[in-house]
Structure 1
Amino acid sequence: MDYSGSCAEKLEIPLFDLSTIMKATNNFSIDRKIGEGGFGPVYKGILEGQEIAVKRLSRISTQGENEFMNEVVYIAKLQHRNLVKILGCCIEGEEKMLIYEYLSNGSLDSLIFDETQTKVLDWPKRFHIINGVARGLMYLHQDSQLRIIHRDLKANNILLDKDMNPKISDFGLAKICEEDDVGAMTNRVVGTHGYLSPEYALYGKYSVKSDVFSFGILVLEIAWNLYKEGRSTELLDECLGDSYSTYEVVRSIGVGLLCVQQCPEDRPNMSSVVLMLNNKGVLPLAKQPGFYIEGNAPSSGAFSSSQYAESTVTETPITILTAR
């Protein structure tokens, strides 16, 4: 496949020379490395006076060339303040790189799961992040020209700019959705255990409601670090101090629980989530959450309860019931 032709002609995004990117990152020096993921290492650079982030496809990457092109195709056509912005790509020989805007506050997981860094996030910032991610997902599911299921929404795929505005990143596993509530099927489940909806993790069935489930897990991670049954305000991270609105916290937890209900049809769509987060109407009562999994196959019958989809994960399993 002629990747350079695909990028330059079909997508009309800038195609940078390898020498330009090497100069921008000081020849990929170790002191410029700012992260590492399934795709490969990420470097900070300076290109034409602008700070950039360079994702370099590793030769031993768990994400291959299809995921590389998947991300280029999708993210180049999506424009929203809560999605990371791609500036171009570099394809030369065996080198394949994506160039993004640099976001100075890094990934959300580096803040909420670090005892020192978590103190940076008071409740107003956390609620702002929850709302921003919700609006970004609503755009993907309903308002963008492609209508995308992300399939790998998690804390380290949420990047934060200098003003703590969240931006959804990493579209390597994304899929176009044709209908809101009709689930597609796969026998290769990819993503991160703990964020995967039960119908996707067990039976390979995914839809926009799979992303809604992942969003619910993300909200609950942001809203609490400890689990104590029946006392919502005690679920909060101690570092929040007096910065939080009890109403907003309890409402966020309620919305998060609605998003992680066992049955996809019970979960709200993202436009409803945005409305529920920002209005004062009574929330519906949440049904059984999806981490309490039953072994019943979906009514579609494509997979029996004994035919589990092959699961490929990018990180170790997590659970919202245990502090990280």
Structure 2
Amino acid sequence: MAMLIVVVVCTIFGMILAGTAGYYICQLKKAKMNARQENSVYNDFKEESQDKDLELPIFDLGTIFAATDKFSAGNKIGEGGFGPVYKGELPNGQEIAVKRLSQSSGQGLNEFKNEVILIAKLQHRNLVRLLGCCIQGEERMLIYEFLPNKSLDNFIFDQTKKKQLPWEKRFNIITGIARGLLYLHEDSRLRIIHRDLKVSNVLLDNEMCPKISDFGIARIFGGEQTEEKTRRVMGTYGYMAPEYAMSGQFSVKSDVFSFGVLVLEIISGKKNWGFCHPEHDLNLIGHAWKLWNEQTPLDLMDNELKGSLSKNEVVRCIQVGLLCVQQRPEDRPAMSSVIFMLSNESASLAEPKEPGFYMGNFSLKIESLSSGQTSSTANDVTITALSGR
């Protein structure tokens, strides 16, 4: 009997030992597999970066962890479709902004790579400067120059902060965005379509100089290519050109439409998406079009823009904005023409034609993708609905 007990105990102990050993072997294999995957992603990205002649620093996770105080809530300065953004400080004292890819983000590794590869090649005073990136484990981060004034929407739609933007500064912001967009479309080594130009993707430096940011869904055009069609439409309500939102057709003229919306928002201090007027159901584009036809375009102007300003300059900007949001892409001006019209008071401007999406906010089936975001999905459509920060 005693011998039987010993045998049973030894058998049970052996089973436990074998099970424990098996568990740790499985965990070790899993850890090795994760490490291989991590190294694979890192090496693939490194090779791809080298192939594309990118001289972009790759930061260590520990450095970013220390710079942001372990991604503390106090250092969080915003959040977008990519994920949260944190302020940080490197050991040399340089301030940085860290975009950390969220696991629940609608964007993934492809959008991450796309933004790194695109913006690393772009150098312009009206584009945000990318300092490096971090790929470690499941972490995907972009490290940018820190811009203390954050994004344009923090000013233009805030009843108090908008007072810091008199007409002269607003005009400079409009022309700065135009120059940045011209660089993307015509003056850089690449022809780039941003596809998500909006006020929250325009950052402001200490001197209120605008810098276009967020190139996650931007596309490169090669050679003589002028347009492309996609089944995966990505963008933001209120800024998307009709041909892009409805059929997936995009070109430089799609960005021009978004720029036109920006111009009207900057002048009015109102959002196109969600615009409300007591006398009609038109959106901001429709309201501007209505005032233009009634020959009262200055009624669009923000109430804060009082005092000494050039009314002719304001009217010219409104006219340029309406030219940019015309229904047909071929009717919209190129960004080179936009800059010429903005900077030359003597230049003759065409009369704008009927704009696109001016009757109100077009409706599509809406589904929730993640917290803080609303997406519209119809034939592979991903559209961000704007919300306050």
Check whether TM > 0.5. yes
Contact kept in structure 2, 1:180 and 1:207, CA below 8 Å: no
Give, in angstroms, the shift of residue 62 of structure 1: 1.1
Contact kept in structure 1, 2:260 and 2:321, CA below 8 Å: yes
Matched, 1:264 2:312: no
String of CA shifts for 1:219-265, please: whole Å, max 9, x gaps.
00001147472312221111122142101110000000000000000
CA distance in 1, matches of 2:213, 2:98: 13
Matched, 1:149 2:183: no
Give, in angstroms, the shift of residue 193 of structure 1: 1.6
Q: Which residue of 1 aligns with 2:355?
A: 289
Q: 1:6 to 1:96 in 2, by over 3 A?
A: farther
Trace 1:168-207 onto structure 2 (pairs within 5 A). 168-178=212-222, 182-207=226-251
Q: Which residue of 1 aligns with 2:168?
A: 124
Q: Which residue of 1 aligns with 2:125?
A: 81
Q: Which residue of 1 aligns with 2:82?
A: 39
| Higher relative contact order (CA closer than 8 Å, sequence separation 6+) | 1
Q: Which residue of 2 aligns with 1:158?
A: 202
Higher helix residue share? 2
RMSD: 1.8
Give, in angstroms, the shift of residue 8 of structure 1: 5.8
2:99 to 52, 55, 68: 55
Q: Which residue of 1 aligns with 2:113?
A: 69
Contact kept in structure 2, 1:7 and 1:89, CA below 8 Å: no
CA distance in 1, matches of 2:225, 2:171: 27
Q: How many residues align?
A: 304
Contact kept in structure 2, 1:150 and 1:171, CA below 8 Å: yes
1:18 to 61, 68, 73: 61
Structure 1: runs of 5+ lacking an equivalent: 294-307, 318-324
Matched, 1:312 2:382: yes
Q: 1:188 to 1:168 in 2, by over 3 A?
A: same
Give, in angstroms, the shift of residue 121 of structure 1: 0.7
SS for the counterpart of 1:75 is: helix
Contact kept in structure 2, 1:201 and 1:309, CA below 8 Å: no
- Aligned-pair identity in percent equals 61
Q: 1:7 to 1:22 in 2, by over 3 A?
A: farther
Larger Rg: 2
Q: Which residue of 1 aligns with 2:10?
A: none
Give, in angstroms, the shift of residue 6 of structure 1: 4.0
1:5 to 30, 46, 57: 46
Amino acid at match of 1:41: P
Give, in angstroms, the shift of residue 146 of structure 1: 1.2
String of CA shifts for 1:79-134, please: whole Å, max 9, x gaps.
00000000001111111100000111110111111111111111000000000000
CA distance in 2, matches of 1:242, 1:232: 17
Give, in angstroms, the shift of residue 178 of structure 1: 3.1
What TM-score does the superposition give when structure 1 sets the normalisation length? 0.90
SS for the counterpart of 2:180 is: helix
What TM-score does the superposition give when structure 2 sets the normalisation length? 0.75
String of CA shifts for 1:163-208, please: whole Å, max 9, x gaps.
0000000000000123677320011110002100000000100000
CA distance in 1, matches of 2:237, 2:268: 19
Give, in angstroms, the shift of residue 216 of structure 1: 0.3
SS for the counterpart of 2:233 is: strand
